[in-house]
Amino acid sequence: MLARTADNLYWLSRYMERADFLARIIEATQRLASVPRASGKDETEWESALIASGAEETFHANYEVADEPNVVRFLAFSEDNPSSIRNCIEYARTNARAVRTALTAEMWDAINSAWLDLQNFNGQGEAMHDREETSRFLEFAKATSLVFDGSAYRTMLRNDAYWFSRVGLYIERADNTARILDVKYHVLLPETESIGGSLDYYQWTALLRSVSALTAYRWIYRESVQPWLVADLLILKQEMPRSLLACYDALVRFLDEIGQAYGQQGPGQRHARTVMRRLEQASIKDIFQSGLHEFLTDFVEDNSRLGDLLTQQYLLN
């Protein structure tokens, strides 16, 4: 297939996945911020949401205060933020339009309808401060991702077009899972609260809920929410569909399909396998001992390196 087509499909999937992630991170932050606490000071939730989404620099170039209205406007609606939900959907459609021939009618319909609906949310005026409007918008973003993903899964031919779009999705999802887990690192516990205390507990629960994993957690561990088990679920549990291991399992599989179809393996396939092996051999105990934040930071770098390798190998031909 055309290298540009593969590139567009890859990014289209990434943008759609990212829109979903941003919606989830805003929801998670709203929950974290609403936790009652002794003092009103030290509220770092919205700053942490910016860090987790990798947008803190662009944000501070545009805004002074990282409070809810500003951050929500920036992450959800802003045209100045290249990774806002609005822009993700805009870019996704631009990519989709460029490769319409590689999309099924259902995928096009999903993205095009979402783009048309997007015009109904302005997010610039007064409505912006309205949590109900925000919440409708976040639901819309998540539903869009879901419909798009579902239509791709159900209707695409299983050939390289499909594999590249899945690779984009899983690279993005792995990145997002790592980042959302890292939010907790950036949310500082007030000095009056203890680790393992009720605020700590509440924060981890909110995090699980934000990735629709609270029920899964209970099924798997059958005990109250513990930080290392949450990390275990989101990093090492094969059966958890957005865990880092599950993402890499899928990446290795789809990259193998591409390698087989083209009769050649390359640096992308080798790197994905290396990351996969490291995850398989890791234990949550070791990860916590050497530092969860450090582990996640390394992972995000490795993951983005996979993206670069694939760009060199296939998308820039």
Partner 1 sequence: MPYFDEMTLPDGSIRDVYQRVAQWLSDSPAELLESRRSQAELLFRRIGITFAVYGDKDAAERLIPFDIIPRMISRAEWTKLEAGLIQRVKALNMFLADIYGDREILAAGKIPADLVYSNAYFRPEMSGRRVPHDIYIHIAGIDIVRVDGDKFYVLEDNARTPSGVSYMLENREVMIRLAPDLFADHRVAPVENYPDALLATLRSVAPRSANSEPTIALLTPGQFNSAYYEHSFLADKLGVELVEGRDLLVRDDIVYMRTTEGPRRVDVIYRRIDDDFLDPLAFRPDSVLGVPGLVSAYLAGNITLANAVGTGIADDKAIYTYVPDIIEFYLGEKPLLQNVPTWRCREADSLAYVQEHLNELVVKEVNGSGGYGMLVGPHATSEQILLFRKKLTADPENFIAQPTLPLSTCPASFSHGVAPRHVDLRPFILSGSQEIRVVPGGLTRVALKEGSLVVNSSQGGGTKDTWIVEDNLIEMSPDQRQSQCFGARQSQSQSLGFGAGQSQSQTQG
Which CB contacts under 8 angstroms, 24+ apart, belong to 130-138? 131/30, 134/26, 134/72, 134/76, 137/23, 137/76, 137/77, 137/85, 138/23, 138/26, 138/27, 138/76, 138/85
Of 1 and 38, which has the nearer Cβ to partner 1? 1
The binder of partner 1 chosen from 60, 100, 154, 218 (CB under 8 A): 100
Q: How far is the CB of 110 from partner 1 (least distance, A)?
A: 11
Q: Which stretch binds partner 1 (CB under 8 A): 101-109, 130-138, 169-177, 230-238?
A: 101-109
CB proximity list for 257: less than 8 A, separation 6 or greater: 163
Q: Which stretch binds partner 1 (CB under 8 A): 44-52, 84-92, 94-102, 220-228?
A: 94-102
77 with 84: CB under 8 angstroms?
A: yes
Contact map string, positions 144 to 173, toward partner 1, x by CB under 8 A: ----------------x---x---------
User: Distance of CA 140 to CAs 19, 79, 81, 151, Å?
Assistant: 10, 18, 19, 16
Q: How far is the CB of 11 from partner 1 (least distance, A)?
A: 14
- Residue 271 falls in which region: left (phi positive, over 0), alpha (psi -120 to 50) or beta: alpha
The binder of partner 1 chosen from 44, 63, 69, 112 (CB under 8 A): 112
The binder of partner 1 chosen from 31, 44, 98, 186 (CB under 8 A): 98
Q: Give the three-class secondary structure for 31.
A: helix
3 touches partner 1 (CB under 8 A): yes
State which of positions 260-289 bind partner 1 (CB under 8 A): 262
Rounded CA gap, 316 and 7, in Å? 8
The binder of partner 1 chosen from 40, 41, 64, 101 (CB under 8 A): 101
Residue ranges in contact with partner 1 by CB under 8 A: 1-6, 94, 97-98, 100-101, 108-109, 112-113, 116, 160, 164, 258, 262, 314-315, 317
